[in-house]
Structure 1
């Protein structure tokens, strides 16, 4: 009888422990909020949903994703992340450059290679990407989780361009990024900062005569409809970064920190696979949708005329960022040399 009572008591304790554990699990099952800058099915959206997939498959947490425009423009979602309203944000250095000047390094023309294998290897192995940048983001209350490429930059213009002189008197939309403005000024254009939401209308009404973006974004945003001349200048790749509010991240358990890191790695591998062939497929869709589209791929000789203007942009970058930017640029070039020589 004593043994039976003891077992009943133990069973009761076990049930209480189980109930407590269940309650603890419920309490720790949070809904996290994540915003990005693109539309449904675009690269950042695919990355976000792969991140969500991993989080929800490996924990009791859920992830709420907000696409472009649902919480405002890029500047808005960054402010919300810094304020702790959002837990995660995906924002390109084109906008982050105002907050972290060194992030503008991605807009030095002809610094990055354009072949995908080298670009991907660079993002995997670069000391600048994986060691220097997390420290810079941390200074602004952000935990940098992953930087990744989206696609080669393509310029759309109101008429084909083959030399810097062709950009004369043309207003080219740029992100709110001082160094990108310097790039297009060096190319001979009139850089015109505009938020993304105004770009289509500005092209349609000839307030601006061109813009730059990866080809998938030109296709999904319908930019070719109002800016039909596509020019492959070979001047760089569009890069983006996924990060967390640092206070939020620091308050996570070690288990959840590892979960977040693993989810970011999982999403990175998925996105590298996703972008392989994406540009070609997007261009095919554009050509099928419009007979007015022209495609100009600059020759090596034509590219050299643009490349010759890159050093003045490098000088401007160093002027903007000082000794720290100079060291970052040197590391960047060293990392690129290492992957190109392998």
Structure 2
């Protein structure tokens, strides 16, 4: 065989080998589906795309992302994840609380600090977050991959508010979360559960007089247009959770499980950097767009009037969740004390 024929044969073998390898990779590659609760460019969307970036740069898999409304409301995407239609979902404990009562712990007011560095350290180090919660989610067929903070909660109302008495008779929209309703009852308001898609119209028509959300969401959702009085009460941070359908996750190879975990960790680090300064930036955008907006930051004395009502919410949490919730709350507080150095 001359050298030319040898070369052609080698090329032919290489081409066949490459074709076989490509076919094998194509069989092993998958298109995964991921849904979250927010709009383009919002925190959950940024997290999702960082997760996607890591998955696609480190494997042959692809990730399809669905934003708020594309597959329905929060309850819809959770049902689709539990049914295995979606592989991944990002959902706040505000909605998951009906499914996992203990997740409502994030809605006990004044339990979480508002200092960002302390909050971040808590999410990194907390035993409750990183060991206890995954077990609770697993009971519902969900593999908890990451919990992370989005921003300090801000209340918007139809007029400036500085005391619980000034919230009397005001209907404040809450997520479909029993403990969040208890919080606003304690604060003196009338809690009104509504799905997100109805909130803007309800504020516009005065069906409700207020709501709470992180400031970036108030800006991106245009809520300040119909609820222009922003009140910083210091009562907590908005937390969210990214998870997978557990049957899907358990069926992955060890290599793909590590890929998914690494992608979740990578996206966490990216989102922590993203939210640094995000609230100030969003507030600046809001005040530049509207002359009607007022900003009220409660002083310590005013905050204390609200904080004094928090114990009844904590008691309600224990009533709802029993011994398991009580133990989780104890661990939660121990974790917080540890990161505060107390």
TM-score by length of 1: 0.96
What CA deviation, in whole Å up to 9, does each residue of 1:113-170 have, x standing for no partner? 0010000000000000000000000000000000000000000000111010000000
Provide the alpha-carbon RMSD of the alignment: 1.7
Secondary structure of the structure 2 residue equivalent to 1:145: strand
| Residue of structure 2 in register with 1:317 after alignment | 317
Report the alpha carbon displacement of residue 21 of structure 1 after superposing the two structures with TM: 2.9
Report the alpha carbon displacement of residue 28 of structure 1 after superposing the two structures with TM: 1.0
What CA deviation, in whole Å up to 9, does each residue of 1:37-77 have, x standing for no partner? 00000000000000000001001111000000000000000
Report the alpha carbon displacement of residue 20 of structure 1 after superposing the two structures with TM: 3.4
Report the alpha carbon displacement of residue 29 of structure 1 after superposing the two structures with TM: 1.0
Secondary structure of the structure 2 residue equivalent to 1:146: strand
Deviates more, 1:80-89 or 1:20-29: 20-29
| Residue of structure 2 in register with 1:225 after alignment | 225
Distance 1:106 1:78 in 2: 19
| Residue of structure 1 in register with 2:249 after alignment | 249
Distance 2:291 2:8 in 1: 80
Distance 1:70 1:11 in 2: 48
| Residue of structure 2 in register with 1:68 after alignment | 68
Report the alpha carbon displacement of residue 312 of structure 1 after superposing the two structures with TM: 0.3
| Residue of structure 2 in register with 1:180 after alignment | 180
Distance 1:32 1:100 in 2: 25
Report the alpha carbon displacement of residue 244 of structure 1 after superposing the two structures with TM: 0.4
| Residue of structure 1 in register with 2:100 after alignment | 100
What CA deviation, in whole Å up to 9, does each residue of 1:250-300 have, x standing for no partner? 011111110000100110000000000000000000000000000000000
| Residue of structure 1 in register with 2:302 after alignment | 302
Alignment of 1:134-153 (within 5 A): 134-153=134-153
What CA deviation, in whole Å up to 9, does each residue of 1:145-196 have, x standing for no partner? 0000000000000011101000000000000000000000000000000000
Distance 2:132 2:83 in 1: 24
| Residue of structure 2 in register with 1:336 after alignment | 336
Secondary structure of the structure 1 residue equivalent to 2:65: strand
| Residue of structure 2 in register with 1:4 after alignment | none
Report the alpha carbon displacement of residue 24 of structure 1 after superposing the two structures with TM: 1.5
Report the alpha carbon displacement of residue 9 of structure 1 after superposing the two structures with TM: 10
| Residue of structure 1 in register with 2:33 after alignment | 33
Distance 1:22 1:208 in 2: 57
Distance 1:176 1:140 in 2: 18
Corresponding position: 1:207 with 2:207: yes
Secondary structure of the structure 2 residue equivalent to 1:248: helix
Secondary structure of the structure 2 residue equivalent to 1:231: strand
| Residue of structure 1 in register with 2:279 after alignment | 279
Secondary structure of the structure 2 residue equivalent to 1:149: strand
Report the alpha carbon displacement of residue 22 of structure 1 after superposing the two structures with TM: 2.3
Secondary structure of the structure 1 residue equivalent to 2:39: coil
Distance 1:17 1:118 in 2: 54
Report the alpha carbon displacement of residue 18 of structure 1 after superposing the two structures with TM: 4.6
Secondary structure of the structure 1 residue equivalent to 2:150: strand
| Residue of structure 1 in register with 2:56 after alignment | 56
Report the alpha carbon displacement of residue 12 of structure 1 after superposing the two structures with TM: 8.0
| Residue of structure 1 in register with 2:4 after alignment | none
Secondary structure of the structure 2 residue equivalent to 1:161: coil
| Residue of structure 2 in register with 1:326 after alignment | 326
Distance 2:301 2:278 in 1: 27
Distance 2:329 2:77 in 1: 28
Unaligned runs of 5+ in 2: 2-6
